[in-house]
Amino acid sequence: MRSSTLFRRINRHPVRTSTALQLAPPVPEPCVPPGDSIVEYGAYVRGEKIVTSGIVEALDLVREHNTSSDGGANAFVWVGLHEPEAPEVDWLSEVFGLHPLAVEDAVKAHQRPKVERYGESLFMVLKTIAYLDHDQLTDNSEIIATGEIMVFLGADFVVTVRHGEHCPLTLVRERLEDQPKLMNRGPAGVLHAISDHVVDQYLQVADLMQLELEEVEATVFADVSSRDINRIYQLKREMLEMKRAVTPLLSPLSALPQRRVVPSEMREYFRDVGDHLSRVCEQVESSNELCSSILQAALARSNALANEDMRKISSWVAILAVPTMIAGIYGMNFDFMPETKQVWGYPAVLAVMVTACVLLHRGFRRNGWL
């Protein structure tokens, strides 16, 4: 009787102990459409912009047009974002089918310039640079600001993600919208316009940095101080920052015309952008070497000026050492010293001091120490 009662008590709550140890599955965080980060979006059919109520509706319109009998592959969606959050990019990845690795790179930013292919789409990272105006180059002057533009390129969509306050793509979009023939080139035409715009920025900044180098070079053989060397070193650091932004893009951009995703009629345009980028890389490399030479010349000039100052100081010390020595000897007040009892003794000692100082001064002047 006791055993059966105990059995019933144990089996009365058989599941409560096991279910207490189970953890509830985490609730996935829902993806949200882009909010404040979206700059502009639109559907483009035959080069003309069509306003829709949302991004999904624009994509449906474009795909319906491309699958129609008379559509052709000249309709696409262009979405522009500025520093979006991770849920917003995840929502876009679900809409456009973006690769997770590319989405992760677009959110984190600070990526190396590159071009990667994911299936039938491309992911391109462009480093952007901007020249910051300043009245005078100081030790803490920031001359170059950098940012990034990520481009997701598909058969019927372009998604641009921009990081940084400079190099907006509004002018690029307006220029393409004003010329439907250019916009009708499709997503590859948009990618070409963006890369061409970024490389043109490279050219402008490289020319302005060249002017900075010329101004600094003119002061190298003037009176060089430690502050001047600090300014030259600061300019050297900015040149290296520019080199890190420009040079890594040369190889991916040169290989872009060979990508199957890029239409054959657009390959010549990308080769032209690659030629411009090669010119920029050569100019940046030569400017960087010139900046290194200026820094070495400034250091050598500073050392030469320091040695010249030390020679002057040493010369005057040697000149003043002679009268100091004679005055020190005669100031010991011994009884038996030459000329101490003579009337002309004091003027004679002074004459010896002056003569010795004049001879030493002429000798140092002749040797270039004074």
Report pLDDT digits (tens) over 49-99: 888 888 888 888 888 888 875 545 578 999 999 888 888 888 888 889 888
CA 253 to chain CA centroid, Å, is: 19
CATH architecture of 305-366: Up-down Bundle (1.20)
CA dist 133 and 136 (Å) reads 9
Give yes or no for residue 3 having a pLDDT over 60: no
CA atoms within 13 A on the CB side of 100: 0
* Among 258, 369, 275, 245, residue whose Cα is nearest residue 318: 369
Percent of the chain with pLDDT over 70: 80
> To the nearest whole number, what is the mean pLDDT of the chain?
78
Asked whether the predicted pLDDT for residue 22 surpasses 50, the reply is: no
Assign 47 to helix, strand or coil.
coil
Q: Residues with Cβ < 8 Å from 2, sequence gap 6 or more?
A: none
Cβ-Cβ contacts under 8 Å for 239 (sequence gap 6 or more)? 209, 284, 287, 288, 291
Over the stretch 234-288, which tens digit does the pLDDT of each residue have? 888 888 888 888 888 888 888 777 777 777 888 888 888 889 999 999 988 888 8
Residue 145's nearest CA partner among 167, 113, 121 is 167
The predicted pLDDT at position 140 comes to 63
Q: Which residue ranges make up each domain of the chain? A: 38-303, 305-366
* 254-to-62, 82, 242, 261, 280 alpha-carbon distances in Å: 30, 27, 19, 15, 14
Higher pLDDT, 39 or 14: 39
Same fold, 38-303 and 305-366: no
Residue 168 vs residue 109, higher pLDDT: 168
- The dotted CATH code for 38-303 is 3.30.460.20
Which tops the pLDDT comparison, 7 or 363? 363
Please give the model's pTM, rounded to 2 decimal places.
0.72
Tokens at 240, concatenated? 């290296």
What local confidence, expressed as pLDDT, does residue 334 receive?
Answer: 63
Tokens representing residue 303 in the block = 């050392």
* CA–CA dist 99, 264 (Å, integer): 25
Gap between the terminal Cα atoms of the chain: 122
Amino acid 67: pLDDT: 81
User: Which residues face 80 on adjacent strands?
Assistant: 40, 160
* Rounded average pLDDT over 142-165: 89
